[in-house]
Amino acid sequence: MIRLQKYLAERGLASRRGAEEMIKQGRITINGRRAEIGMSIDPATALVAVDGQALPPQREQKITLMLHKPRGYVTTMHDRHATKTVADLVDCPERLYPVGRLDKDSEGLLLMTNDGELAHALTHPSRQVAKVYRVTLRGQVSENMRTQLQTGIMLDGTRTLPLQLREVSQQPDRTVLEFTLQEGRNRQIRRMCQAVGLQVLRLKRTQIGPLKLGMLPVGETRTLTAEETKKLLLFLQKK
């Protein structure tokens, strides 16, 4: 859903303020009914007319956004049981969907797109797209624990793929490790850590393939730059 005045502005009919004036003047109708200030529409289904003339269908643009998902948000666009979903954080005229998953208690980089081919390429198990996570754990991590995590843990009857571990920092009460995985089972890192006796205090995804979260503020989105898009496509071509 998108605010009507924003939609009109993006269609090039007027500025947002100008679009509001057009709505006040009764020049805009939605599905045959006079529009009102503050209305939101679904561009994919709403019939918008200006002065009685229907706007031509808008060709869907392929859009990919980077979202810094906060903790507490469910990675879905619709969930009647969830009070907060990532849909609440995205304001885009196109209908976007999350690429892969990031559980409610985790945070960090999440891609949102309407490009089905791209989403499939990034999530298909055969591609083994690497993802990097910064994980804060309670207490110390022994060498035996690290070896088990790196070589694989039995989950749901199959062993996880080998992964890379890098120590970021270590204190008496907590250890921060960087995990680099090439698979994405449900709550995989949390379940692996639990299996070796470790408690996850915080889990943040910082990278997917060549794309890095960087300094994007929590809860904010941005479109991929031309350079990032180029790098991503070249990366996937090599997979």
List, by residue number, the catalytic residues.
103
Residue 54 CA to residue 37 CA, distance in Å, equals 19
How many CB atoms are closer than 10 A to CB 125? 11
Distances (CA, A) of 120 to 20, 44, 128, 132, 185: 39, 22, 12, 19, 16
Residue 225 CA to residue 222 CA, distance in Å, equals 9
φ, ψ dihedrals at 87, nearest 5°: -60, -30
Residue 9 CA to residue 45 CA, distance in Å, equals 18
The encoded tokens of residue 24 equal 């006040």
Q: Of 33, 102, 32, give the one whose Cα is nearest residue 67.
A: 102
- DSSP one-letter string for 1-22: -EEHHHHHHHTTSS-HHHHHHH
Residue 55 CA to residue 76 CA, distance in Å, equals 31
Q: Return the half-sphere exposure (C-beta side, CA atoms, 13 A cut-off) of residue 180.
A: 11
